[in-house]
Amino acid sequence: MTAGRYYKSFQIKPSTRIRLGKWDPKFIGEHTKKEALRKIEKLREQISDMQMRLYAEHQRSLLICLQGQDASGKDGVVRHVIGSMNPEGCRVVNFKEPTKEELDHDFLWRIEHQMPRKGEAVIFNRSHYEDVLIVRVHDLVPKSIWSRRYKQINDFEQRQLANGTHILKFFLHISKEEQLERFEQRLDDPAKRWKISEADYTEREYWEEYEKAYEEVFAKCNSTAAPWFLIPADHKWFRDLAISEIIVAALEALKIQVPKPTVDIADIRRKYHEDVRKAQRTR
C-alpha cells in the first residue's frame, strides 16, 4: 500500500459522521512487523529530508495534532516518527491543564502562541481540541460555551491555512483492552511508572463519553484542507507506519522548493580548491 493510499484510507471524509466502535483499532493491513519497521526507517529519512526542505524554503509551515485516549501512543509517535526531524526546525508542544494566565484569555490564546513559524514543523501533543473534549465530558464549562467552539476552531484553522500552515490531525484509535494492557506494562516497568496517574484509570469510566465527543469533533471540525486521520493504534509499529506514510504524502504534495543559493557557488568552489592546493603544498 502506498503513502497516498494510506492518506485516503484513514482520512475521515468531511461532513460525515462516523462511529468509532465500527473502526478496528487492531487493523494492520497486509503488513508484517518486520516489513513495517524497514519501511518506517526509509520513511523517516524522507521525512527528515522534506522537513529540511521546508525549513530552507521558509515559506510555509506544518502543524501536526496528535489526539487520543490515554496510552494511545502520542509520545511514541513523537519519539519514533517525529524524532526523525531536525530539532532546529521542529518543536513539540504538550498542552496540559490551563494555567491561571491562560484561563484569563480566550481558549485559543495559548494555542496561537505555539503555532509554527514559516519553515517550522510543530507537533501538538494534545491540542486546542481538548476544549471540546475534556471540557465537554467533565462539564467544565456550560454547553452554551463549548458548543460555540467548533466554529471558532474552524475559523482559527482556516486563518492558519491562509497563512501557509499545512495542518494534519491524527486520532490514535486504541481499544479499551489494549489501553489496560499498556497501563499494566507501566506498572511492571520501573522506567515507565512516572507516567502513571490516578486519572489514567478514572478516565476509563468516561470512555463512551469521550468517543461521542470525538465523533462530534470529526463531524464538525474536519475539512479537506485540515483533515482528520483515524489511525488504528493497538499495534504501535502499524501506527507509526501509517502516520509516517501520511506525513510523507502530505509533504510531497506541497512540492517544496529549496531556494537558490544567495552566494556565487562558482567563486566559493574556486576558493575551496585553492585552499585544498595550499594545504597539500604545506604537508
CA–CA–CA angle 90, 94, 97 (5° rounding): 160
pLDDT at 4: 62
Answer yes or no: pTM beyond 0.75: yes
CA 269 – CA 276 distance, rounded (Å)? 11
Over 80: is that where the pLDDT of 269 sits? yes
Q: CB of 79 within 8 A of CB of 118?
A: no
Over 70: is that where the pLDDT of 266 sits? yes
pLDDT in tens, 198-251: 777 789 999 999 999 999 999 999 999 999 999 999 999 999 999 999 999 999
Over 80: is that where the pLDDT of 5 sits? no
Domains and CATH numbers, the chain: 3-281 (3.40.50.300)
pLDDT at 2: 47
- Residue 243, classified by CB atoms within 10 Å of its CB into exposed (0-12), middle (13-18) or buried (19+), is buried
Q: Is 99 left (phi over 0), alpha (psi -120 to 50) or beta?
A: beta
pLDDT in tens, 159-188: 999 999 999 999 999 999 999 999 998 888
Over 70: is that where the pLDDT of 1 sits? no
